[in-house]
Amino acid sequence: MKHYTHLIAGNAVDGTSGRFAPIYNPSTGQQSAEVPLANVSEVEQAIAAAEAAFPSWSGTSVLQRARIMTRFTALLYKHQPELAELVSREHGKVIEDAMGSVLRGIEVAEFACGIPHLQKGEFSDNVASGIDIYSMRKPLGVVAGITPFNFPAMIPLWMASMAIITGNTVVLKPSEKDPGCPMRMAELFLEAGGPAGVFNIVNGDKEAVDCLLNDSRIKAVSFVGSTPIARYVYETATKNGKRCQAMGGAKNHMLILPDADLDGVANALMGAAYGSAGERCMAISVGVCVGDEVADRLIELLTPRVKALKIGTSLDKGLEMGPLVTAEHRAKVMNYIQMGVDEGADLIVDGRDFKLAGHEDGYFLGGSLFDNVKKDMRSYKEEIFGPVLQLMRVQNFEEGMALATDHEYGNGTSIFTRSGAAARTYADRVEVGMVGINVPIPVPLAFHSFGGWKASSFGDHNQFGMEAVRFYTKVKTVTARWPESTIEADFSIPTLK
């Protein structure tokens, strides 16, 4: 059984707290590793290492930082299969999905390599006689990243790549459920020539998180997880004077108009609802059908496909879905399915009885499909985060758009239609942060940015893209004069002539 450590100042550091968390292989239900849960002194040690590394790293030329990031990106590509296997073994994603999730993280590291251009300031020459004004974007200092279990490669790379390239040093606390991939990526950063102390990993639970949120040396915190924890992280971090971006949960709607290609919609819903066993904050968990004819046809198309989902162990190829991450999370999803039944929704396909032969102890569920879900149902209001698709029936476009707009969460949504006018209206008016038009999972590419609205996101800046450059830097503006003669005293507010 593997024993993980922390990675502090470039060194593997054994846990000293005496507390450990088990890591399971979701396909077998067997423990495969254990990870130490850091105490306050270990987190403080990592913060101290990052603080010590900051002056040198922030003073490193932007070109040199970019060269190190370029080498790091090349190593990530080289080790992509290894990283994906770590994701599959500890999280349960099927290997093809794991490979894709690693790639989406690498794309942000690639974007970060352009930092010599991205971090440029602004310059205005001769705004008055002999006076120039220019601005610079300076790093914040030591920043923290707190990442979830569902994307143990992608989201750590979203945070660490952009924080490091802008001249900050990082303390990352990955999920204790699947820390193997973040640990390996931090090792690859050192192999790429990254200085010790720039990228540190502390494994832990709430004790570690609270230490990061309360330590005055941490200047900014980036978080992805559930909405209750995101709200707690944001409130605690900002109360302590830190910048914070905290991404929470989601309930993503797909609005399906009568003119849509319903065969294409069924294909899109299968991947968006059941891919990664529904453990995606951008999963489509609600299909909103305009008219009974659309709903009836989709039920007809989806039912046999949901029943025939190709489910197996995470490292098997050619599959559509693997296990859920833990036994506890599997039980939580099953409880939501029962809740939907108790609330009166029609359970068309029940995935709770699925068993994989030879892997009966794995954390598997089949896909579940509901019809006639109503907006007052708790199972609709809350995030299920599992392989469950809920269909709702509405009478018109406005009623369907209102469901996404009025919901507590506002992470992502999509519309499927042949009408450009309807799509444009939906994209403009729906109160959701990311919109797909005939695209089921509208996760932006690395040169844009990722972020929801309402209870899906707390803070003023999104993840990656130019939003991340702004989040991880502060602006310094310089007004400069090189006089040819002595400056005279002036006691009025400065005006430029």
- Give the residue numbers annotated as catalytic, written as ranges: 281
Which amino acid is residue 284, in one-letter code? I
What HEC string does the chain produce?
A: CEECCEEECCEEECCCCCCEEEEEECCCCEEEEEEECCCHHHHHHHHHHHHHHHHHHHHCCHHHHHHHHHHHHHHHHHCHHHHHHHHHHHHCCCHHHHHHHHHHHHHHHHHHCCHHHHCCCCEEEEEECCEEEEEEEEECCEEEEECCCCCCCHHHHHHHHHHHHCCCEEEEECCCCCCHHHHHHHHHHHHCCCCCCCEEECCCCHHHHHHHHHCCCEEEEEEECCHHHHHHHHHHHHHCCCEEEEECCCCEEEEECCCCCHHHHHHHHHHHHHHHHHCCCCCEEEEEEECHHHHHHHHHHHHHHHHCCCECCCCCCCCCECCCCCHHHHHHHHHHHHHHHHCCCEEEECCCCCCCCCCCCCCCCCCEEEECCCCCCHHHHCCCCCCEEEEEEECCHHHHHHHHHHCCEECEEEEECCCHHHHHHHHHHCCCCEEEECCCCCCCCCCCCECCEECCEECCCCECHHHHHHHCEEEEEEEEECCCCCCCCCCCCCCCC
Tell me which residue of 177, 179, 193 sits closest to 5, measured CA to CA.
179
> For the CA atoms of the chain, what is the radius of gyration?
24
